[in-house]
Amino acid sequence: MTNFVTKQSFILADELATIAMGKRIADLVKSELQQGITVYLNGDLGAGKTTLTRGFVQGMGHVGNVKSPTYTLVEPYDLAEWQVYHFDLYRLADPEELEYMGIRDYFNERSCSFIEWPEKGTGMIAVPDMVIDLAYSDEQRTMTVHADTVLGQKLLLALIS
Protein backbone atom coordinates (compact mmCIF):
# COMPACT_ATOMS: atom_id res chain seq x y z
CA MET A 1 0.00 0.00 0.00
CA THR A 2 1.32 3.47 -0.80
CA ASN A 3 1.49 6.25 1.77
CA PHE A 4 1.26 3.75 4.58
CA VAL A 5 3.48 4.99 7.36
CA THR A 6 2.90 3.89 10.92
CA LYS A 7 6.05 5.16 12.57
CA GLN A 8 8.22 8.23 12.15
CA SER A 9 10.92 9.98 14.18
CA PHE A 10 11.49 13.72 14.51
CA ILE A 11 14.35 15.66 16.09
CA LEU A 12 13.30 18.42 18.47
CA ALA A 13 16.33 20.68 18.89
CA ASP A 14 15.19 22.58 21.97
CA GLU A 15 12.23 23.34 24.19
CA LEU A 16 10.77 25.81 21.69
CA ALA A 17 10.88 23.18 18.95
CA THR A 18 8.95 20.79 21.21
CA ILE A 19 6.30 23.43 21.92
CA ALA A 20 6.09 24.22 18.20
CA MET A 21 5.56 20.49 17.48
CA GLY A 22 2.71 20.38 20.01
CA LYS A 23 1.13 23.39 18.31
CA ARG A 24 1.56 21.80 14.91
CA ILE A 25 -0.26 18.66 16.08
CA ALA A 26 -3.07 20.88 17.40
CA ASP A 27 -3.33 22.70 14.07
CA LEU A 28 -3.62 19.38 12.24
CA VAL A 29 -6.27 18.06 14.63
CA LYS A 30 -8.34 21.18 13.95
CA SER A 31 -7.77 21.43 10.20
CA GLU A 32 -7.30 17.82 9.03
CA LEU A 33 -9.02 15.55 11.53
CA GLN A 34 -11.75 17.82 12.85
CA GLN A 35 -12.30 15.35 15.64
CA GLY A 36 -10.68 14.47 18.93
CA ILE A 37 -7.75 12.14 19.48
CA THR A 38 -6.15 10.16 22.26
CA VAL A 39 -2.36 10.37 22.52
CA TYR A 40 -0.16 8.36 24.87
CA LEU A 41 3.13 9.96 25.88
CA ASN A 42 6.07 7.77 26.89
CA GLY A 43 9.51 8.81 28.08
CA ASP A 44 11.59 9.38 31.19
CA LEU A 45 11.03 12.26 33.61
CA GLY A 46 12.20 15.41 31.88
CA ALA A 47 11.90 13.94 28.38
CA GLY A 48 9.43 16.65 27.35
CA LYS A 49 5.98 15.05 27.67
CA THR A 50 4.53 18.04 29.50
CA THR A 51 6.33 20.52 27.24
CA LEU A 52 4.85 18.89 24.11
CA THR A 53 1.40 18.89 25.72
CA ARG A 54 1.81 22.57 26.64
CA GLY A 55 2.26 23.40 22.96
CA PHE A 56 -0.73 21.26 22.04
CA VAL A 57 -3.03 22.81 24.65
CA GLN A 58 -2.02 26.32 23.57
CA GLY A 59 -2.41 25.36 19.92
CA MET A 60 -5.97 24.21 20.65
CA GLY A 61 -6.74 27.73 21.82
CA HIS A 62 -5.91 27.87 25.51
CA VAL A 63 -4.36 31.17 26.57
CA GLY A 64 -2.35 31.07 29.77
CA ASN A 65 -0.53 28.60 31.95
CA VAL A 66 -0.35 24.87 31.36
CA LYS A 67 0.66 23.34 34.65
CA SER A 68 1.68 19.75 35.16
CA PRO A 69 -1.21 17.72 36.62
CA THR A 70 1.14 15.57 38.68
CA TYR A 71 -0.98 15.78 41.85
CA THR A 72 -4.41 16.23 40.30
CA LEU A 73 -4.01 13.43 37.69
CA VAL A 74 -5.86 15.48 35.08
CA GLU A 75 -6.05 19.11 34.04
CA PRO A 76 -9.10 19.88 31.92
CA TYR A 77 -9.23 22.73 29.39
CA ASP A 78 -12.74 23.66 28.35
CA LEU A 79 -12.20 25.50 25.07
CA ALA A 80 -14.75 26.94 22.65
CA GLU A 81 -15.10 23.90 20.41
CA TRP A 82 -12.99 21.34 22.21
CA GLN A 83 -12.34 19.72 25.51
CA VAL A 84 -8.67 19.02 26.07
CA TYR A 85 -7.52 16.76 28.91
CA HIS A 86 -3.94 16.57 30.05
CA PHE A 87 -3.40 13.48 32.18
CA ASP A 88 -0.35 12.64 34.24
CA LEU A 89 -0.97 9.26 35.82
CA TYR A 90 2.46 8.95 37.45
CA ARG A 91 1.02 9.08 40.96
CA LEU A 92 -2.02 6.93 40.26
CA ALA A 93 -1.92 4.07 42.74
CA ASP A 94 -4.85 2.07 41.41
CA PRO A 95 -6.51 2.36 37.96
CA GLU A 96 -9.87 2.02 39.77
CA GLU A 97 -9.42 5.58 41.02
CA LEU A 98 -10.09 6.71 37.46
CA GLU A 99 -13.53 5.14 37.64
CA TYR A 100 -14.46 7.43 40.53
CA MET A 101 -13.24 10.41 38.50
CA GLY A 102 -15.80 9.52 35.83
CA ILE A 103 -13.05 8.81 33.33
CA ARG A 104 -15.39 7.28 30.77
CA ASP A 105 -17.05 10.64 30.12
CA TYR A 106 -13.70 12.16 29.16
CA PHE A 107 -13.33 10.42 25.83
CA ASN A 108 -15.57 11.58 22.99
CA GLU A 109 -15.52 13.06 19.46
CA ARG A 110 -14.79 16.60 20.63
CA SER A 111 -12.22 15.74 23.27
CA CYS A 112 -8.48 15.38 22.98
CA SER A 113 -6.52 13.55 25.65
CA PHE A 114 -2.75 13.67 26.07
CA ILE A 115 -1.78 11.07 28.65
CA GLU A 116 1.56 10.88 30.47
CA TRP A 117 2.34 7.49 32.11
CA PRO A 118 -0.59 5.77 30.34
CA GLU A 119 0.52 2.32 31.54
CA LYS A 120 -0.71 3.29 35.02
CA GLY A 121 -4.26 3.55 33.69
CA THR A 122 -4.34 0.27 31.80
CA GLY A 123 -7.87 -0.92 31.17
CA MET A 124 -9.46 2.37 32.20
CA ILE A 125 -8.40 4.81 29.49
CA ALA A 126 -9.25 4.91 25.78
CA VAL A 127 -6.97 3.11 23.33
CA PRO A 128 -4.51 5.52 21.70
CA ASP A 129 -4.72 6.93 18.19
CA MET A 130 -1.03 7.76 18.50
CA VAL A 131 1.75 6.77 20.85
CA ILE A 132 4.58 9.29 21.17
CA ASP A 133 7.93 8.26 22.63
CA LEU A 134 10.29 11.01 23.74
CA ALA A 135 13.96 10.34 24.37
CA TYR A 136 16.61 12.85 25.31
CA SER A 137 20.25 13.66 24.76
CA ASP A 138 21.25 17.05 26.23
CA GLU A 139 18.90 19.74 24.88
CA GLN A 140 17.79 17.64 21.96
CA ARG A 141 14.85 15.26 21.99
CA THR A 142 13.91 12.50 19.60
CA MET A 143 10.18 12.14 19.20
CA THR A 144 8.98 8.87 17.70
CA VAL A 145 5.35 8.76 16.67
CA HIS A 146 3.45 5.49 16.22
CA ALA A 147 0.04 5.61 14.58
CA ASP A 148 -2.36 3.06 16.05
CA THR A 149 -5.69 3.89 14.42
CA VAL A 150 -6.89 5.22 11.06
CA LEU A 151 -7.21 8.63 12.70
CA GLY A 152 -3.67 8.43 14.05
CA GLN A 153 -2.44 7.39 10.62
CA LYS A 154 -4.11 10.41 9.03
CA LEU A 155 -2.49 12.70 11.55
CA LEU A 156 0.94 11.15 11.13
CA LEU A 157 0.72 11.45 7.34
CA ALA A 158 -0.20 15.12 7.67
CA LEU A 159 2.67 15.62 10.08
CA ILE A 160 5.30 14.31 7.66
CA SER A 161 3.94 15.96 4.52
Residues 36, 85: Cα–Cα separation, whole Å: 11
Binding site for Mg ion (CB under 5 A): 49-50, 68, 116
One-letter amino acid for residue 130 of the chain: M
- Phi and psi for 11 in degrees, rounded to 5? -95, 130
Instruction: Say whether residue 145 binds ligand ADP (CB under 6 A).
Output: no
Of 75 and 116, the one with the shorter C-beta distance to Mg ion is 116
Residues 48, 39: Cα–Cα separation, whole Å: 14
Residues 138, 85: Cα–Cα separation, whole Å: 29
Of 88 and 129, the one with the shorter C-beta distance to ligand ADP is 88
Give yes or no for a contact between 115 and 39, defined as CB atoms under 8 angstroms apart. yes
Give yes or no for a contact between 160 and 5, defined as CB atoms under 8 angstroms apart. yes
Question: Which of the listed partners (ligand ADP, Mg ion, none) does 108 bind, with a CB threshold of 5 to 8 Å by partner kind?
Answer: none
Of 121 and 151, the one with the shorter C-beta distance to ligand ADP is 121
Which of 87, 82, 133, 132 is CA-nearest to residue 108? Answer: 82
Instruction: Say whether residue 111 binds ligand ADP (CB under 6 A).
Output: no
Question: Which of the listed partners (Mg ion, ligand ADP, none) does 139 bind, with a CB threshold of 5 to 8 Å by partner kind?
Answer: ligand ADP
Instruction: Say whether residue 58 binds ligand ADP (CB under 6 A).
Output: no
Instruction: Considering only the stretches 28-36, 95-103, 118-126, 134-142, report the one whose residues sit in contact with ligand ADP under the rule CB under 6 A.
Output: 134-142
Residue 57 CB, shortest distance to ligand ADP, in Å, is 12
H-only helix segments in the chain:
15-28, 49-59, 96-100, 150-160
Site for ligand ADP (CB under 6 A): which residue of 6, 46, 104, 110? 46
Of 97 and 133, the one with the shorter C-beta distance to ligand ADP is 133
By the criterion CB under 6 A, which residues form the site for ligand ADP?
A: 12, 14-15, 17-18, 43, 45-51, 116, 139-141
